[in-house]
Amino acid sequence: RNGKTATFMPKPIFGDNGSGMHVHQSLWQGGTPLFYDEQGYAGLSDMARYYIGGILKHAPSLLAFTNPTVNSY
């Protein structure tokens, strides 16, 4: 009714920009980033590495929500 079309497809129009389907995530507590550790591997804290591991472990299930259409692949 406003001349707009809503879509949840990451790339609905060929040759135009899509959503990129990427998300930046960080956890903070009291102004301190919890994913950073100067001494950690690649500057990552243990919490960050476990967080990444959890996302990777559950990636197949997450894909049903984050990549639901054939345009996602």
Count of domains forming the chain:
1
pTM comes to 0.64
Q: Is residue 69 in a domain? A: yes
- Is pLDDT larger for residue 63 or for residue 13? 63
Q: What is the rounded distance in angstroms from the CA atom of residue 53 to the CA atom of residue 37?
A: 17
Domain, as residue range, for 54: 45-73
Would you list the DSSP string of 18-56?
Answer: --TT------EETTEETTB-TTSGGGB-HHHHHHHHHHH
Token pair listed for 2: 């406003």
Which pLDDT score, from 0 to 100, does residue 4 have? 83
Type of residue numbered 38: E
Q: Is residue 70 in a domain? A: yes
Which pLDDT score, from 0 to 100, does residue 42 have? 96
Q: Is residue 52 in a domain? A: yes
What would the pLDDT profile of 3-42 be if each residue is shown by its tens digit?
887 777 666 667 666 666 567 899 999 999 999 999 999 9
Q: Is residue 16 in a domain? A: no
Please say whether the beta carbons of 54 and 47 come within 8 A.
Answer: no
Token pair listed for 67: 């990549």
Q: Is residue 51 in a domain? A: yes
